[in-house]
Amino acid sequence: MPTATRPDQRQNQILAGLSLAEESRLHDDLEPVSLEAGSVLQNAGEPLSEVYFPTSCVISLIATTRDGAATELAMVGNDGLAGISAVLGDELSGHKLVVQAGGDAYRLKAETLRWELAAGGRLQQMALRYAQALMVQTAQALLCARHHSVEQQLGRWLLLCLDRRPDNRIAMTQERIASLLGLRREAITDAAGKLQAAGLIRYARGQIDVLDRPALEARGCECHGVVHLEFERFFRSTVAADLPSRLRPNPLTLRHRAEARWRELPESAPEDPSEAAYLRHELEIRKIELEIDNEALHEANDQADALSERYADIYDFAPIGYFTLDAQGNILDLNLAGAILLGLKRSQKSRHRFINYLAAECQAAFTQFVDKVLAEKKSGFCEITLTASAQRPASTLRVEAVPDEHGTECRMVLMDMTEQHSALRALKHSEIRYRQFIDDLPVGQDAAAKPGNDH
């Protein structure tokens, strides 16, 4: 894959939206490349090692069957990035990536992208919003294939290509278009002939010129308009300029960044031999000092890891349930005792709301309790009743809750009070029976039965 001269990063819409700090950090990691039409950048199911930010090329996301049949799900131009699986947390490619139209792009290692996304800056926001726009494009393509004519599908596809190309010319054979749309070549030939007869396109020798785009849009279905509006909304959306930084420099690119900074340093005049010997001595001493500091840092990290593991064990194996809820009552985290109490797999915690496990009569009161704890940023306690399940009967729990420092998470300790309540009920029942026994004694004997009457 040839290396391209470095185009302006802002030719790609996502790279154009980066903050100055993000742009500076990624400058040396973004590698300009020239991509040839038909090149396979990634096969589905393979480890995703690189992502691409097109500036002038177009990349197709292809779904394939075992027997080799293929259909284009979406196309990526200078509006986004190819390799969206890395943004969504997957290490494998979800689609086959094929260059539909040759041109330039920026290539970035997927590991570097994941590290930068973890910083929570503009790149993360724009990449996630682009994933949403890409899902709309994919869904609309499937809808169009199911409900609209071949001519309408071809018109939609041509318009999407034009949105991502600098001119009205598309270099593509009818056979290739048919393959991308999952249709017969004869059907595409017939549809292209109708569009050409209407004066909307001109087709010759593997290239299509769109002569009247407004008429093509008017003749087609609404699918292109839906996708176009979604991408316009994506580009119009503003990104917060000042976001809380959680950046940690990527150690894998430290050498690369250091060399890039060294190349920017001005050249110095050669030193005399005595000065060079002194500098070598000082560098050796400094090197040893850094090694000693590094050893101390590793030791401190090992101690921190040991303390973290110890805390995790205490948290996980505590005999009482620990829970963390968000403001909507969704379970963010819980320990082993909490998972057993609810009969819930910890891997499924994010799919459940805590109040769904409560008796109906206490759900509203518990919701108000959580709202109060978060709003007032004060600790509190209450009692709730868990509904019965196949593993346990209904139980009464005491909840002690505190908010986090931002007032967005409610952290709770749950203690089972079922036995204590049962004991209290038994004690009250015994007291009632004792009083009834006293009341039923014959007159004159009840006084003798009362404590303190010794004769």
| 115-165: pLDDT as tens digits | 889 888 899 999 999 999 999 999 999 999 999 999 999 999 999 999 988
Q: Which helix (H) or strand (E) holds 171?
A: strand 169-171
Least confidently predicted of 58-62, 105-109, 255-259: 255-259
Tens digits of residue pLDDT in 201-258:
998 888 899 999 999 999 989 999 999 888 888 777 655 444 444 555 566 666 666 7
pLDDT at 276: 79
pTM: 0.56
What's the pLDDT score for residue 254? 65
**For the chain, the helix, strand and coil percentages under 3-state DSSP, each to the nearest 5:** 50, 20, 30
Q: Measure the CA–CA gap between 453 and 448, rounded to whole angstroms.
A: 6
- List helix spans (H) across 148-272: 150-163, 174-181, 185-197, 213-219, 223-236, 254-263
pLDDT digits (tens, 9 = 90+) for 2-44: 655 677 888 999 999 998 888 888 888 999 999 999 999 999 9
- The predicted model gives 157-175 an average pLDDT of 89
pLDDT tens across 24-34, in order? 888 889 999 99
Q: Which of 74, 47, 45 is nearest to 58 (CA)?
A: 74
Longest CA pairwise span in the chain (Å):
125
98 CB neighbour count, 10 Å cutoff: 20
Contact between 86 and 108 under an 8 Å Cβ cutoff? The reply is: no
Q: Helix and strand tally (H, E) in the chain?
A: 16, 15
pLDDT the model gives residue 241: 45
CA distance 139 to 137: 6
- The pLDDT value recorded for residue 446 is 53
Report the pLDDT value the prediction gives residue 37, as an integer from 0 to 100. Answer: 92
Report the pLDDT averaged over residues 273-296. 83
Q: What is the pLDDT of residues 302-329, one digit of tens each?
A: 888 888 888 878 888 888 999 999 999 9
Q: Which of 49, 50, 10, 6 is nearest to 28 (CA)?
A: 6
C-alpha dist (Å) from residue 278 to 113, 131, 266, 275, 283: 42, 56, 21, 5, 9
Spatial separation of the C-alpha atoms in residues 111 and 49, rounded to whole Å: 7
pLDDT band at 398 (very low <50, low <70, confident <90, very high): very high
Looking at residue 132, what is its pLDDT?
Answer: 92
CA distance 428 to 386: 23
Sign of CA dihedral 412, 416, 418, 419: negative
